[in-house]
Chains A and B, each alone.
Chain A
Amino acid sequence: MPSSRFAEWMLSRFIGRSRASTVVGDLLETTQRRGDLWFWTSVASVIVWPFWRKLFGYIAAFFLADYVSDVLSHSIHNVYATHQPTMNIAMLLGALEIVAKLLWMNSAYSLFRFGFKDHFAQLALALSGLATASVYFWWSRPVILPCLFALTLVIFLSVLTASRRAALLALTGAVGLGFVGWYAVVVGANVLHHHDRDASVLIYLVTSATDVVIVLIALTACSRMRRVFSPAQQLSPSLH
């Protein structure tokens, strides 16, 4: 017989003690026909099943943010050299770059977690594209003007229905909180860097952790804001 007490203890961390006890009872009843391997894979599936969308959403958001960050930074660097923006435009582009990364994180996370039909995911994806195009082509009027027009249209369409309005508010809140969190983490890491110039391993660890902490802050803000503004849409459409 497998170590059912350990399985029950582990399951109770995720689904509560009462439910864990009955689930382990059910699995033990079936295990006599199917074996220990089935028992443990079943325990793992009960733990992972409710969270796999969230887990993959986090992973996708992390890697997409990293990729977008590289692409945008590279592009801005090249464009700066040729178009030489003023200080104000440079600051605006820097802020827009962070917003674009936060929007891509929210898009990846919400697409995994809530599906493509979700209004929040659709809005995040549309705005991610617009923000990225604006950062890339801020110097090109034929691109920026349609982007601004499309942004106005997206916002106008979003305020027309209650669910899209809720998605717009949730996304604005998520990006706003993510921006503040991002700024706080980056400033914190810089302060640490200045205090401890020689400890390169520590700096490396802090810098690596910074990326993870930023993603965690941004996606926690995304979940919280969605819960506040769209409590009825918390479950994935494919699971309804």
Chain B
Amino acid sequence: MIRPPALGEFEQVVLLAILRLGETAYGVTVRAEIVACTGRAPTPGALYTTLDRMEDKGLIQSHLGDSTPQRGGRAKRYVKVTKKGRYALIEAQRQYQSLLRGLDLLEGGTDA
């Protein structure tokens, strides 16, 4: 069985944001979704570099979409998670879950 590629934390965040957005995922909405869900605003450099790298690794796919006057007539690059990306994300989350099992971190709040 082929092992899925290992994912960094930010790659997982981006993949989850894309999955949450579905058909409407492109640079601006992905960034907004990350800000809304995590409170962290990634720099455009980090976001676009990660998107390009994940596309090169076959974790996401992109296609050009519509353009608007707001964008100076430039097309949007919509992205979606591939089967390989979904598999890698599931594996990464499974690893987190197995580490969390037996701990009451989420129930116990932030008390030490």
Contact = CB atoms under 8 A, between A and B. Distances in A.
Interface of A: 1, 4, 8, 15, 18-19, 21-30, 32, 42, 44-50, 235, 238-240
A178 B11 CA distance: 36
B44 A46 contact: yes
B53 A239 contact: yes
Contacts of B77: 19, 22
Interface residues of B, number: 28
Contacts of B27: 22-23, 26
A45 B71 contact: no
B8 A46 contact: no
Which 6 residue pairs across A and B have the least CB separation, nearest first? A45-B45, A25-B74, A49-B45, A25-B71, A26-B27, A22-B77
Given A42-B45, A49-B49, A50-B49, A32 B28 contact: no
B70 A46 contact: no
A31 to B, nearest CB: 9
Interface of B: 5-8, 11, 26-28, 31, 43-46, 48-50, 52-53, 64, 67-68, 70-72, 74-77
B46 A26 contact: no
Contacts of A21: 74-75
Nearest to A238: B8
Contacts of B26: 22, 26
Contacts of A22: 26-27, 64, 74-77
22 contacts: A1-B72, A15-B48, A18-B64, A22-B26, A25-B67, A25-B72, A25-B75, A26-B26, A26-B28, A26-B71, A28-B72, A28-B74, A29-B70, A30-B28, A42-B43, A46-B49, A49-B48, A50-B49, A235-B53, A238-B8, A240-B5, A240-B7
